[in-house]
Structure 1
């Protein structure tokens, strides 16, 4: 006996899939026609504006109100500019500037660019309060460590995106900012009492709900006092009791990618995870980045099976699909603006730079970029001062494998500019910086989340609050290195 086509269509209406390459394959468009809620675009799907526009048009040929999502946060997380780095600073830089009107402007500009390409849902802004300096996954993606400030910027970012006609999706509920683990690889635990969550992590979510955000994304984190042994993505107490009832959110609850270890390990796989997320109150399920037609069909079939065996009630799945459809309808009718090229992002990045010491006499430096691994969220996006240096010599080294004497010899009588992300926790980084500064004029450019640690005797310490293309240019200008 075959699968009920009506139930298959209902299940597909809760799923956000993805596809490989720059051209949507036939199956990706066919699934949209069959009722799939939408697709998420990743860097591998982006080769240029004309190509992206052609891709979104192809997806809309399957259904005009298909949701087309992307992680375009500005700063360190960009898909549109994955080949060069974002022309916009990220949240940490905007939080450092402290101008909520600027934050709204930047996000409206990002939204206008997305709208012009046919993208309708931005999986942004990140509204986590980054209260742990060594948080491995949020960091510069956060507006800061103060809940009141983060809430104000979160509301402004949401308003800016949606003013451009692109739905915002605030993430990661109930707050990923106090973790020291990455939910792409494991299930982090935030051992906080509900009252602490309300004071520290939840104010930005209250703010975006008030600002009218169309969507909120769940976090694959465990908060024992709230979610028990599982992640928030599978917790009815988090999604329904807290987000829906206490905070009054009536939009779409979107899951973070179900392929992430923080969800998949807890559920025993992507398809069982989809059922658990729906049962907990999620509406739109991000399957992940590595998706093919077979995976989508397996997830849909598991949802249909759960409807048959009592794990899911039909009214719950109809509610989820209905909310996703309502979001799609809004994106089709919203007033959309298109982008006009400006220097907005670069000007904002310059306002964010903080300088300690004296950044002069560095125009003929040797620039040394210290290798730093990227997170899965960031991807392999170029960063640093390289594109902005003109004739200034730059080399790239691994701090722990570098002899300071070799760098001194290479530099000769030139100053050294060390460019790093999270220099204080980079293996061998602090030791290298201190050893060089003991005998050489040294400036440091910190492009990660700032820490209180400073090397001894450096001439200047420059903090950019991010590593986007715009942040790199701002640092090069401050140091007199920009071409």
Structure 2
């Protein structure tokens, strides 16, 4: 991007282009789910149309609603917007109606026995996510997560990572980006310089990583080098304290990390974006103004979710006027942002305008969404990842019973998309005699085994940013021990965390089968339950198999 075109742009307009705010994908204000973080419709229109912010991050609503919302927002914008979302598990993870994948670490499960297959599936996954994002008008993927999750107690990365070793993570990262590059969308490697070996959630506090430079280069930084080599468009900072890189500043505020290391030593020339600045690791310690200015000084281009967008813009303008930031540095940041926009703003679902190259705008239609979302080939990729990443313990099939209990525990049943009345975890066990449904979550009073009943225990537990999983794991362990001690446990299924599975399976008697899936989605529930239950037709008359 030629900087000359930015010389006549006002400081305020330049600063505004660095800001990405969060809103809901729903169309109406009474549907706001997180009002402390999401701007309402009137404020959103003002920020886009009058202030000229650079982008929006979305959460919530169906794909059809989100597509309409994106059309509306792009129609307000003088300079086309970057539209993004955290869609590490696919568009369907955040927006029902599209494909929902198992978490990225499922690919590491595949790689344990076939790395080449994991690489092929990662490329397919990247392509599906990019294509479906494009279908609804989204042009910036906040994926892939390239952290090396080598700390099982990591509460914020965990199964969001592609694995636990730099070699596997690097190989899968490159394949995922290669797949996404089949479509004109932006990809993002996160969380730089590596958030995998932490036991503190940066949503709540600032984690410290004490490794030396040799270790950081060998492990944490390796997948970022692989992503840069593949041409990743953006890198997202992590809110960390890494003394070996900068003893004074958190990485997001560190010029040594963002500019000297990432741009200088590693050669990255794309967009650098902060992780959300509303996160406790930053907001609670530094506030809105200083966190924004320090990020820009460090060499960041995009400010994601500042506490106050207008205040953030004013802070950048004042920093330039006071000499803390040069106008040239701000122009360079906006040039990188606009270069990225040039790559994607003519994608289907985005209007023409300042960056048009003549490609016609393709309006959102029901036919278009139906033809491009949740297609059979995407479902086949999901199923392959699920099947090839399943783990077993003491495996044997569970025989049908006459009157058993289907006990399901999850972190929360409130607004759950995983344990509804049509979920396979609910509907399949009754076909094998496990008809007594009991649902438990962390809000349930202490569970008691009661009457002796053969029980299949299903646990939906995975790393949970902001809340953690310690209480849910303790609850699951207590229930499991009751069922074992009263000899009611017929089998265990765990969906989510391989670390919890590894912790619980040594407690099982030899005769009790257990299965694990990284995925908690319907496809995972169906595949696992079909494998762990003996076919009814073949076993229904086998009285010895019944309790």
Determine helix, strand or coil for the equivalent of 1:87.
Answer: coil
Aligned to 1:456: 508
Decide whether the 8 Å contact of 2:91 with 2:132 is kept in 1: no
The equivalent of 1:79 in structure 2 is 94
Segments of 5+ residues of structure 1 without an aligned counterpart are none
Q: Is the 8 A contact 1:383 1:468 kept in 2?
A: yes
Q: Structure 2 regions of 5+ residues with no counterpart?
A: 1-7, 28-39, 112-117, 350-370, 463-468, 537-547
The yes-or-no answer on 1:383 pairing with 2:418 is yes
Aligned-pair distance for 1:396? 2.0
Secondary structure of the 2:94 match is coil
1:384 deviates by: 5.3
Contact 2:55 2:83 (C-alpha < 8 Å) held by counterparts: yes
The equivalent residue for 2:489 is 441
Once residues 93 and 384 of structure 1 are traced to their aligned partners in structure 2, the CA distance between those partners, rounded to angstroms, is 20
Map 1:84-483 to 2 at 5 A. 87-98=100-111, 99-267=118-286, 269-287=287-305, 295-333=308-346, 338-339=372-373, 341-342=375-376, 343-344=379-380, 345-361=382-398, 365-372=404-411, 382-383=417-418, 387-388=423-424, 389-390=426-427, 391=430, 392-398=435-441, 401-406=445-450, 409=451, 412=453, 414-421=454-461, 426-438=473-485, 439-451=487-499, 452-453=502-503, 454=505, 455-457=507-509, 459-480=512-533
TM-score (norm 1): 0.87
Once the 2 structures are TM-superposed, how far is the Cα of residue 245 of structure 1 from its aligned partner?
1.4
Query: How much has 1:362 moved relative to structure 2?
Result: 5.1
Counterpart Cα distance in 2 of 1:76 and 1:69: 11
Give the whole-Å Cα distance in 2 for the aligned partners of 1:350 and 1:435.
30
Task: Write the distance in 2 (CA, Å) between the matches of 1:330 and 1:481.
Answer: 52
Whole-angstrom CA distance in 1 between matches of 2:519 and 2:222? 24
* TM-score normalised to structure 2 length: 0.78
Q: Deviations over 1:198-240 (max 9, x none)?
A: 1111111111101111011100111111132432111111111
SS in 2 for 1:419: strand
Report if aligned partners of 1:447, 1:465 keep a CA contact under 8 Å in 2.
yes
d(CA) in 2 for partners of 1:107, 1:162: 8
Does the 8 A contact of 2:93 with 2:100 survive in 1? Answer: no
Distance across 2 between alignment mates of 1:204 and 1:368: 40
- The secondary structure found in structure 2 opposite 1:167 is coil
Kindly provide the CA deviation profile for residues 264-292 of structure 1, in whole angstroms up to 9, marking residues without a partner as x. Answer: 1332x12321111010011011015xx7x
Aligned residue among 28, 51, 72 for 2:44 = 28
Q: Decide which of 76, 87, 90 is 1:62's aligned counterpart.
A: 76
> Equivalents in 1 of 2:417, 2:330: separation in Å?
41
Cα offset for 1:50? 2.1
Shift of 1:246: 1.6
Structure 1 residues 202 and 436: alpha-carbon distance in aligned structure 2, compared to 1, 3 A threshold: same
Q: Give the superposed CA RMSD.
A: 2.9
Q: Distance in 1 between matches of 2:535 and 2:310?
A: 52
Whether contact under 8 Å (1:233, 1:263) holds in the other structure is no
Q: Displacement of 1:133 after TM fit? A: 0.6
Native 8 Å contact 1:37 1:325 kept in 2: no
Deviates more, 1:57-66 or 1:175-184: 57-66
User: Could you give the per-residue CA deviations for residues 323-352 of structure 1, whole angstroms, max 9, x where no partner exists?
Assistant: 111111111246999446122213322222
